[in-house]
Amino acid sequence: MRQFKQFLCVALASSFALVLQVPAGAQLIQDPDAVAAVEKGVAQLDVEQWEEAIASFTEAIGHDSTFAEAFLGLADALRALEDYQAAIINYRQALDINPKLAMAFNGRGVCYRELGEFNLANNDFDNASQLDRKNGEIAANYGDILAQYGQDPVQAMRYLDIAIEQDPKNAKALRNRGLVRAKLKEYDKAIEDLKMSIEVDSDDFETYTTLASVHISQEDYVPAIDALSQAIKTYEPKENSDPETFIHGYLQRASLAIALAKLDETTELKKQELYESAIADSNAVLKEFPDRYPESGLALFRRGSALRFQGKLGEAIKSFTEAIQLAPAGEVGSYISEAYLKRGICWHYQEQGSLARGDLAQSASINFEDPLPHLWIGFTYAQEGKFREAIDHYGEAISRNASFPLVYVNRGKAYMQLKQYKKGVQNFNEAIRTEPNEIAMARHFYRRGIAHMRLEEYQKAFDSFHLATLNDKSFKPAIQKKAEALRKLGKPGLAEQYDRQAREPSPPKPVAPS
């Protein structure tokens, strides 16, 4: 409204004789009564007296139906009352009279944006910016639509820079520029912008969620959780249909807590704290929505996941079951495939192979490309000593993801159980080839060394055990096996050196910060 008032005050200078550009190119002197009514309406807009402003601008139009700024003011007042369709009609009237009225394009663009007509909004903001390239409000709105829905973050950045240059305390523009910088992978600058936005407006929960998303993209879970906590604290529903609490924030925070707990560096005490936090967040969602799909189902799924990692398999099974039952008949989206998968894993740990395979097969039928259901079906058969069946399902998993080291490892172990050691070596080789983690790779070399020992290929066995210790110098079983292979190679003196090395106490492992 401030830009509109400033524009109009200039136009109404002197005795309010206003000369407008009209399509025909003629000059027009506005009716003095219309000018007075518009001036009154502008003052009412400034103090947010929307209904009174509507009456004043309507009076002005009654005096002079060619007064573009009267239609513009009426549209602005209607927009403030969220009567977007009526506002659009009046912005169009203003533009029919004066097609170079930048703020009419801008106002109509805001209406289209609020109605979800983003392409139309984009066009109007583009037109407005062409007419007034230095206007901070227009630049902020165009930057907003480009940041949220556009495909060109560089163009969005250009307009947001203009908006922030005009108003360094435009919190929304700072938030949008942070989002754009994150899209451009300028994460440090993105975080800086978002923190500046929070300094200006610490009560906008969307800024905190944007900040959380930037941290999540970097897998930096602790500050992401902190940002979501602030979003949950500051959230206020905008519409009557909005949840009373920030449901998405609770669900996302629960997911992040579980992800953080699964990291190797997280202490056991901290893991339990995080799982309890995830359960509490899930319960907060269920308190507001005990049986609404998909929100309640996602909460039950998150709670089941946390319970599973706590070893509370029965409670986890119950939670997953409730999540599955909550979904409408025939629904296969959202969390359904994962819920069957996780419940199947729980059945497996309870040594209920048949139940586990039923759930895992159901998961595989929903998400055909996922290798995990077939991997876990293989685990259930291996648990029962049915290694041929296990190998078949490991093969199914590999057909869906040929770069999955864990599948090759377990297929290799199954071949070892069947005494097919060469096939064991082949699978451990594939695990080594696809493994990015040095510690895990050390275990793959170790298993390959065992297979070579069974094949009486002692030099190859020694080489494998040596590679295992190169990847993990503290891996004592591999050191001991090096000694065993050397004895088989007729090198007892060298073997004794490795025996002594294996008996030496291991250095204490560093303690991860709590």
Which of 362, 385, 408 lies at the terminal end of a domain, its last residue? Answer: 385
Q: Cβ(124)–Cβ(108) under 8 Å? A: yes
Residue 83 in any domain: the answer is: no
**Whether residue 316 sits in one domain with residue 343:** no
What pLDDT score was predicted for residue 509?
Answer: 53
**Whether residue 273 sits in one domain with residue 320:** yes
Residue 362 CA to residue 267 CA, distance in Å, equals 35
Q: What share of the chain is helix, strand, coil (3-state, %, to 5)?
A: 75, 0, 25
Q: What is the CATH number of the domain that holds 301?
A: 1.25.40
What pLDDT score was predicted for residue 353?
Answer: 97
> CA distances (Å), 103 to each of 39, 157, 291, 379, in order?
17, 21, 46, 65
Q: Cβ(434)–Cβ(444) under 8 Å? A: no
Residue 311 in any domain: the answer is: yes
What pLDDT score was predicted for residue 507?
Answer: 62
Reported as a single tens digit per residue, the pLDDT across 21-64 is 334 333 456 789 999 999 999 999 999 999 999 999 999 999 99
What pLDDT score was predicted for residue 508?
Answer: 57
What pLDDT score was predicted for residue 338?
Answer: 97
Residue 380 in any domain: the answer is: yes
DSSP 281-298: HHHHHHHH-SS-TTHHHH
Closest to 101 (Cα-Cα) out of 21, 205, 183: 21
> CA distances (Å), 310 to each of 260, 336, 343, 442, 494, in order?
14, 22, 14, 28, 46
Range of the domain at 372: 327-385
Both tokens assigned to 386: 């049915």
**Whether residue 337 sits in one domain with residue 266:** no
Backbone angles phi, psi at 111, to 5 degrees: -60, -45
Taking the complete model, does pTM exceed 0.85, yes or no? no
Closest to 487 (Cα-Cα) out of 469, 476, 499: 499
**Whether residue 364 sits in one domain with residue 299:** no
**Whether residue 313 sits in one domain with residue 381:** no
Buried b (16+ CB within 10 A) or exposed e, 208-221: bbbbbbbbbeeeeb
Cα 347 versus chain centre, distance: 30
Count of structural domains within the chain: 2
Q: Which of the residues in the chain have pLDDT under 50? A: 1-27, 510-514
Reported as a single tens digit per residue, the pLDDT across 275-334 is 999 999 999 999 999 999 999 999 999 999 999 999 999 999 999 999 999 999 888 888
**Whether residue 307 sits in one domain with residue 242:** yes
What pLDDT score was predicted for residue 317?
Answer: 98
Q: What is the DSSP letter of 29?
A: B
Residue 338 in any domain: the answer is: yes
Residue 355 in any domain: the answer is: yes
Both tokens assigned to 276: 């309890």
**Whether residue 290 sits in one domain with residue 259:** yes
Which of 370, 385, 400 lies at the terminal end of a domain, its last residue? Answer: 385
**Whether residue 351 sits in one domain with residue 286:** no
**Whether residue 295 sits in one domain with residue 261:** yes
Place of tokens 């990847």: 471
Residue 471 in any domain: the answer is: no
**Whether residue 380 sits in one domain with residue 346:** yes
Which of 385, 413, 435 lies at the terminal end of a domain, its last residue? Answer: 385
Residue 26 CA to residue 43 CA, distance in Å, equals 29
Residue 25 in any domain: the answer is: no
Residue 377 in any domain: the answer is: yes
**Whether residue 247 sits in one domain with residue 308:** yes
